[in-house]
Structures are given as structure tokens and as C-alpha cells.
């Protein structure tokens, strides 16, 4: 192996990329000291972030027009290889640092090398910290570069080179292969999750049409002896992405509307479709990064959709018979869209930096979408009419729901305290220390009432299955006894703003802990999903505030004589049995499986599930609730849209009286 000493032959031609472009900024010690600052966390999320960081660099090569395939391999020991066919990391000598550019890119923080603003790069949010971070946080890393006819290799330990860059052979190809083993001194877990990797790669394939991403998991062997492996490649891009998201839904128009455009160096691509459901699904990306909190690109998109459809409906007299206004919200029901913008210098805002802040983007997206949508509506009058009908349907239902809601909310005010008869309230009037248990079934509700600490714990029993919020019409929701009880017990109301948007008024919220307590069986978990779906759709701010929890009743009690232990997992059960048993098959050790809350008495329920000192509560994150909603829509489907029946029964759009 000969180390690269003579740099003359590797000198870049004029205009080509050279080592001197790379600026050295910071050392990698900082990264190891405070990894969270660079990759967000050192849990499973941070661990996967290492892979995204390397892949992002390969995708930058794709965006620059040089890379068509990225292969990712999870090895048996959870080390990772990412191989691309891009240009390869430059290996010529960096003039100031007197080191190979490869070494600089791998060992100097922020030396990504691609500082020119004309090329879009994946940077912003927590991304774009550079492969050097991956190197710093890897026990071992090997970089192999095929470039200029040669194969160059350098290896590192915790970010420090283990030797010089070596030219180890010849190659007719170009590309970079990085293999790294995350450092156990840094990460709490080292186990890569196939599904997390696969889902992100599928998403990246949709976002970068024509780019092939291959994932191989050497930890899993298939029946035919090969490793588990999948390839992701989309020729249709965002259009296919929208079709994938809506796979289980009934589409309203034949194929998604596709928008592409460029303005002021901002690239815009959007695909949108309407389906027969009532929920809006928008996935938005900036430079391939998912912006969960939306931002100016999403605002621009909404603005265009509202403006164009409203104009079209008015110009064609479709809204003439309506006795109420169409509002922004009405354009959102059943809308599925993917918005992808490429912005040279993205600014991210918001709590989790998941919101695009660049104000110029609003107008750019709005104009691009507006122009294409305008043509589309002119050229597809039948599709346009279908969408407008759907919008009118949404407005009509919103109008009906408002009336139903107002009726219920007004009645409440008239009937004094307004608290539901079924509620066993607590004595505390301080929301911060008060808890409401939503308990499945009257009998478990009774046990919970006996077992609770009435000073701060309130119990609201819910009958069997609460109303199926997927199938139900919104105005029916507010008439449902169980749901009304939840609203009044909690002290929250829904109001509408000028946009027609439903806003949850939490000013009079009576509890800051809302605990869903269901049986630990299949039915119970179905009911949890149902309740979470309801919270996600109608009381989302409660979830976002971190007020919603799921109780975790034990699955077993293991007993021997007077000793007993509650167990929440199979493993705990095995341990308990092992601890009590004096020999094999010790018949004095008894295992009781708790199928439902009803099998526990008040005291047991208190000490296992309700007592703040001993209970386990799972706090529901917004992602949990969103996932419940997704699972739920898939299970329930929407074969015959109920609102269609509703609207047919009420014939004329204008005169819905509830
Ligand atoms: C610095 C400069 C150039 C490319 C890269 C780094 C690069 C980094 C990674 C990481 C994984 N795969 C990669 N591929 C490329 C520009 C190279 C040029 O101008 O020739």
C-alpha cells in the first residue's frame, strides 16, 4: 500500500472541486462531548441519525447529478455500510491543512466541502452536520473512495485517523463507501431497526425520483438463504408518493395533480389528490427533510388551493345556493398532498426546528401551485366539479356540526353545573393536580371509584365502545352521550375561527392528567386506539400539551403462599416464577393472568395502576396519537362514505337543519 504523497498528479483541473475549497472550522472533541447538540440525542433516534447523515451526503451527490444508486447494509454486528456511485470524496491535498481532503472531510467539523450556495444541499434542522460527526461518534469507521482511476482508503477510531490515506488499487468507477460502527461509549442502544431504515428510504425514493436506494439486513436470513433486502425506486416521484399514502382510500379524481416550478432558485414540487375521507394529510419537505410543523411552503400551498378552488367555484356559480360561507377549512377535508421544496438557505423555526421560516417561499409556492392548478381546473371540468362538490359537502357538514355543538354547549350552560351524572369527581379544583380516569365499562368504573384517592382523582366510566369517530358524522359526535360526557367533564369546548378552523378552548380544562384505563387485552387496546383517535381528531391540543396518558395495568400476578408479585411483561413473570419456585414445576407457585380490570379488586387496582407512587403511566405523544389515527382509519376504512348518505338525505346543500 502506498500512501498518497505526490499530490501533483491528483491536482484538480480548473473549475473542478479542489481541497482548498474546504474550510476547517472546529474539532471533533466537541461532538463527542456533547453529541446531543449535533445529532439530537444518543438514543435510537440519534443512532439512526448517523445513517441519515451519511445518506444525505450521497443524496447531495444525486442532487448535483452524479449519483444514481445508494446501497445501505446493516451488518451482523449492527455496523453500517453506505455505498454510493457519486463522484467520491476528493482526496487531493488541502493546501492550508496539509492533509488529504478526504481526511479533512472526515475529521474536521463542518468541512462538508460544499459551501457554494448554488447547489441545494441537505442541510438544516439537525441534518447537515457532516460525515465528520458520524466519524467522531463511531468506534471505527472506514472510508473507501473510488476516484480518478484509483481506490483510496482511510480508517479512523473515534474520529482520529488510524493511518494515512492509502491508494490501495485501481478502479474504473467513482463513488464513496463508508462503513461505521457506532460507539457504545456514546449510544444507549446500538440496535438498528429495519423498519425505520426502510420507511425513510422509501420516502427518500419518492422524493428523489430515479434514485435507487437498496437496503440489506445481514442480521436477517430469508428462507432461500439470502439476506433480507429491499430496493426502493420511484419513477413517478411525488405522484406515486401520494398514491402510496392513499392506497387504502377511495380517490376522487383519476390521478394526482402534479405541480413543478422554479422561482428565485427555489424548486417547488407538489402532488395532490382528494379522497372520500374527511381528513387532511399533508407531508411537507424542505431539501428532503420532513417539516412536521409545516411552515411557509405549506402556507403557500394552502393559500393557492383555497384561492383557486374558491375562484373557480364562484366563477361557475357552484356556491350560489349556499346560505353560509365556504371557508379555508372546507378545502382541506379529504386532501392528500406532498409538498417538496428545495431552498438554498433554509431557515428552520419552531420547537423542534420542524417548521420552514423563509418568508419568500410562501409566495413562490402559492404562485407555482396557483398557475398549474388554474390550468388544471380549466382543462378538467369534471374533476374540478367533483372536488367542488366535496368542498361543499365539507362546508355543509361543518355548518351542521356547528349547530349541533352549539346546541349541546348551550344546553350545558343552561343546566347548571353541567357535569355529567356518571362522573365521580374529585374534591380538588386545581387542574394541575387533578386527574381524570376514563375507564372502560361501568363495572371497572365502579372498582376505580372505590380504589381511587378522591382528593385528586376523578372517574368517568365510558360505555363499551365509544362512538366510532371514523364513520360518524361530525354533528353526530356532539350528540353522542359518551363524547358529550368527555367534553363536559373535561370542561373544554370547540369553537370556530374565521377560517372555519375548529379550535379547542381549554381555558376551563379541569384536569391536567387524563388517563385512559382499559383492559389489557385485544378489545381493550382497540378501545384505547378508538379513544386516542378521538383525542387526535377533536382534542389534539390536550395530547400536544402532554396531558393524555394510558394506564398500564399488570398482566399477571404470581403468588406463593402469602407472597405475591405483579408482572407487566412475560419476562417479569418468568423472573417472578423463578424467584418463588423451589424446584421445577413447583405447584405452589400460582400465576393469575389479568384479562381485564374487572379481575382486580379496588385495592389491587389502586396499588398497581392508580397510585402515583407505584403505577406506570405511558404519556401519549402526538406521534402515538397520529399512529392510532392511521391504524384506525385503515381498520375502519371508508367503504360507503357516511357523509354521502347524510347529504343525500338532506338533499339541498343550503337547508340543512339539525
Ligand atoms: C466533498 C466534496 C464533494 C463530494 C463529497 C464531499 C462527498 C461526500 C460524501 C459522503 C458520502 N458520499 C459522498 N460523496 C461525495 C464534491 C466532489 C467533486 O466536486 O468532485
Question: For the chain, how many residues are written?
Answer: 658
Residue whose CB lies within 8 A of the most ligand 1 atoms, among 10, 60, 85, 132, for a mutation test: 60
pLDDT band at 126 (very low <50, low <70, confident <90, very high): very low
Q: Quick one: pLDDT at residue 635?
A: 59
Report the mean per-residue pLDDT for the chain. Answer: 87
The residue written with cell numbers 445501505 in the block is: 72
pLDDT band at 242 (very low <50, low <70, confident <90, very high): very high
**pLDDT of 130 over the 90 cut:** no
Do the Cβ atoms of 268 and 365 come closer than 8 Å? yes
Residue 627 annotated in active site? no
Nearest residue (CA) to ligand 1, atom 4 = 89
Q: Quick one: pLDDT at residue 27?
A: 74
Q: Quick one: pLDDT at residue 145?
A: 98
Catalytic residue among 84, 144, 246, 440: 440
Q: Which has more pLDDT, 115 or 137?
A: 137
Cα(131) to ligand 1 centroid in Å equals 10
Distance CA 141, CA 164 (A): 14
Cα(319) to ligand 1 centroid in Å equals 55
Cα(144) to ligand 1 centroid in Å equals 12
**pLDDT of 116 over the 60 cut:** no
Q: Quick one: pLDDT at residue 413?
A: 56
Nearest residue (CA) to ligand 1, atom 18 = 17
pLDDT band at 623 (very low <50, low <70, confident <90, very high): confident
Point out the least confidently predicted range of 301-315, 346-360, 446-460. 346-360
Question: Which 8-state DSSP code applies to residue 260?
Answer: E
Mean pLDDT value across residues 546-570: 94
Handedness of CA 290, 296, 298, 300 (dihedral sign): negative
pLDDT band at 127 (very low <50, low <70, confident <90, very high): very low
> pLDDT (tens digit, 9 = 90+) per residue, 409-418?
776 655 556 7
Residue whose CB lies within 8 A of the most ligand 1 atoms, among 113, 133, 147, 174, for a mutation test: 113
Catalytic residue among 330, 519, 629, 638: 519
Do the Cβ atoms of 448 and 518 come closer than 8 Å? no
Question: Which 8-state DSSP code applies to residue 331?
Answer: G
Ligand 1 proximal residues by C-beta, below 6 Å: 17, 54, 57-58, 61, 84, 86-87, 89-90, 105, 113-114, 131, 176, 178
**pLDDT of 658 over the 90 cut:** no
Distance CA 456, CA 612 (A): 11
Handedness of CA 342, 343, 347, 349 (dihedral sign): negative
Domains and CATH numbers, the chain: 2-232 (3.30.565.10), 240-393 (3.30.230.10), 417-553+618-653 (3.40.50.670)
Q: Which atom of ligand 1 is nearest to the CA of 12?
A: 20
Nearest residue (CA) to ligand 1, atom 3 = 89
Residue whose CB lies within 8 A of the most ligand 1 atoms, among 14, 68, 82, 90, for a mutation test: 90
Do the Cβ atoms of 251 and 638 come closer than 8 Å? no
Distance CA 315, CA 155 (A): 67
Q: Quick one: pLDDT at residue 428?
A: 96
Cα(421) to ligand 1 centroid in Å equals 68
**239 Cβ neighbours under 8 A, 6+ residues apart:** 255, 256, 258, 271
Cα(192) to ligand 1 centroid in Å equals 25
Q: Kindly write down the DSSP assignment for every residue of 161-227, as one continuous string.
A: ESS--EEEEE-SS-EEEEEEEE-TTT-S-----HHHHHHHHHHHHHHSTT-EEEEEEEEEE-TTSPE
pLDDT band at 159 (very low <50, low <70, confident <90, very high): very high
Nearest Cα to 201, choosing from 249, 170, 233, 235? 233
Residue 639 annotated in active site? no
Q: Quick one: pLDDT at residue 633?
A: 65
Nearest residue (CA) to ligand 1, atom 9 = 57
Residue 567's SS3 state is strand
pTM: 0.73
Q: Quick one: pLDDT at residue 471?
A: 65
Beta bridge partners of 259: 270
Q: Quick one: pLDDT at residue 81?
A: 98
Cα(28) to ligand 1 centroid in Å equals 19
Q: Quick one: pLDDT at residue 88?
A: 97
Q: Quick one: pLDDT at residue 277?
A: 84
Residue 519 annotated in active site? yes
Residue 440 annotated in active site? yes
Q: Quick one: pLDDT at residue 414?
A: 53
Give CA angle at 175 (260, 101), nearest 5°: 105
Distance CA 70, CA 88 (A): 13
Question: In the chain, pLDDT over 90 holds for what percent of residues?
Answer: 66
Amino acid at each position: 500500500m502506498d500512501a498518497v504523497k505526490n499530490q501533483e498528479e491528483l491536482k484538480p483541473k480548473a473549475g473542478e472541486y479542489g481541497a482548498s475549497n474546504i474550510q476547517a472550522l472546529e474539532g471533533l472533541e466537541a461532538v463527542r462531548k456533547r453529541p446531543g447538540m449535533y445529532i439530537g440525542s444518543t438514543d435510537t433516534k440519534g443512532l439512526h441519525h448517523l445513517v441519515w447523515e451519511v445518506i444525505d451526503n450521497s443524496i447531495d451527490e444525486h442532487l448535483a447529478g452524479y449519483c444514481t444508486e445508494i446501497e445501505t447494509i446493516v451488518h451482523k454486528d449492527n455496523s453500517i455500510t453506505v455505498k454510493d456511485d457519486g463522484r467520491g470524496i476528493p482526496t487531493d491535498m488541502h493546501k492550508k491543512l496539509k492533509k488529504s481532503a478526504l481526511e479533512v472531510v472526515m475529521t474536521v467539523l463542518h468541512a462538508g466541502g460544499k459551501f457554494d450556495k448554488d447547489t441545494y444541499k441537505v442541510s438544516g434542522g439537525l441534518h447537515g452536520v457532516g460525515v465528520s460527526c458520524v466519524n467522531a461518534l463511531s468506534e471505527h469507521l472506514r472510508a473507501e473512495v473510488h476516484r480518478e482511476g484509483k481506490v483510496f482508503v482511510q480508517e479512523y477510531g473515534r474520529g482520529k485517523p488510524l493511518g494515512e490515506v492509502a491508494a490501495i488499487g485501481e478502479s474504473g468507477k467513482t463513488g464513496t463507501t463508508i462503513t461505521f460502527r457506532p460507539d457504545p461509549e456514546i449510544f444507549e442502544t446500538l440496535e438498528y431497526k429495519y423498519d425505520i431504515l426502510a420507511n425513510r428510504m422509501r420516502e427518500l425514493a419518492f422524493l428523489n425520483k430515479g434514485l435507487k436506494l437498496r437496503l440489506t439486513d445481514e442480521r436477517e436470513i430469508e428462507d432461500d438463504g439470502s439476506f433480507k433486502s429491499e430496493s426502493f425506486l420511484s419513477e413517478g416521484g411525488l405522484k406515486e408518493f401520494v398514491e402510496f399514502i392513499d392506497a387504502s382510500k377511495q380517490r376522487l379524481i383519476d390521478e394526482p395533480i402534479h405541480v413543478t416550478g422554479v422561482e428565485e432558485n427555489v424548486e417547488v414540487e407538489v402532488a395532490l389528490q382528494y379522497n372520500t375521507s374527511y381528513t387532511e394529510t399533508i407531508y411537507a419537505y424542505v431539501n428532503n427533510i420532513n417539516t412536521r410543523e409545516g411552515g411557509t411552503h405549506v402556507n403557500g400551498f394552502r393559500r393557492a388551493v383555497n384561492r383557486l378552488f374558491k375562484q373557480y367555484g364562484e366563477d361557475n356559480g357552484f356556491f350560489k345556493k349556499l346560505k353560509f360561507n365556504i371557508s379555508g377549512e372546507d378545502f382541506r377535508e379529504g386532501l392528500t398532498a406532498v409538498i417538496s421544496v428545495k431552498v438554498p438557505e433554509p431557515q428552520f423555526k419552531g420547537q423542534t426546528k420542524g417548521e420552514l421560516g423563509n418568508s419568500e417561499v410562501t409566495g413562490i409556492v402559492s404562485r407555482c401551485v396557483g398557475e398549474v392548478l388554474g390550468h388544471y381546473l380549466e382543462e378538467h371540468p369534471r374533476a374540478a366539479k367533483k372536488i367542488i362538490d366535496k368542498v361543499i359537502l365539507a362546508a355543509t357538514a361543518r355548518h351542521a356540526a356547528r349547530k349541533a355543538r352549539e346546541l349541546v354547549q348551550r344546553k350545558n350552560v343552561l343546566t347548571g353545573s353541567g357535569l355529567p351524572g356518571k362522573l365521580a369527581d374529585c374534591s380538588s379544583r386545581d387542574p394541575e393536580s387533578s386527574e381524570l380516569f376514563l375507564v372502560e365499562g361501568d363495572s371497572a368504573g365502579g372498582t376505580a371509584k372505590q380504589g381511587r384517592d378522591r382528593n385528586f382523582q376523578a372517574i368517568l366510566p365510558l360505555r363499551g365502545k365509544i362512538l366510532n369517530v371514523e364513520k360518524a358524522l361530525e354533528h353526530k359526535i356532539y350528540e353522542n352521550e359518551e363524547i358529550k360526557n368527555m367534553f363536559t367533564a373535561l370542561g373544554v369546548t370547540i369553537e370556530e375561527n374565521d377560517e372555519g378552523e375548529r379550535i379547542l378552548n381549554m381555558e376551563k380544562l379541569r384536569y391536567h392528567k387524563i388517563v385512559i384505563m382499559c383492559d389489557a387485552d385485544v378489545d381493550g387496546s382497540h378501545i384505547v386506539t378508538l379513544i386516542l383517535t378521538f383525542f387526535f381528531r377533536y382534542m389534539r391540543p390536550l395530547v400536544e400539551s402532554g396531558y393524555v396518558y394510558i394506564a398500564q395495568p399488570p398482566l399477571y400476578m404470581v403468588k406463593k403462599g402469602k407472597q405475591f408479585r405483579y408482572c407487566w411483561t412475560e419476562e417479569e413473570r418468568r423472573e417472578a416464577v423463578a424467584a418463588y419456585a423451589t424446584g421445577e414445576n413447583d405447584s405452589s407457585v400460582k400465576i393469575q393472568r389479568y384479562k381485564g380490570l374487572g379481575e382486580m379488586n379496588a385495592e389491587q387496582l389502586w396499588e398497581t395502576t392508580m397510585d402515583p407512587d407505584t403505577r406506570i403511566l405511558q404519556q401519549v405523544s402526538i406521534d402515538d396519537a397520529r399512529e392510532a389515527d392511521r391504524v384506525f382509519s385503515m381498520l375502519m376504512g371508508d367503504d360507503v362514505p357516511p357523509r354521502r348518505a347524510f347529504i343525500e338525505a338532506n338533499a339541498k346543500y343550503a337547508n340543512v337543519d339539525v
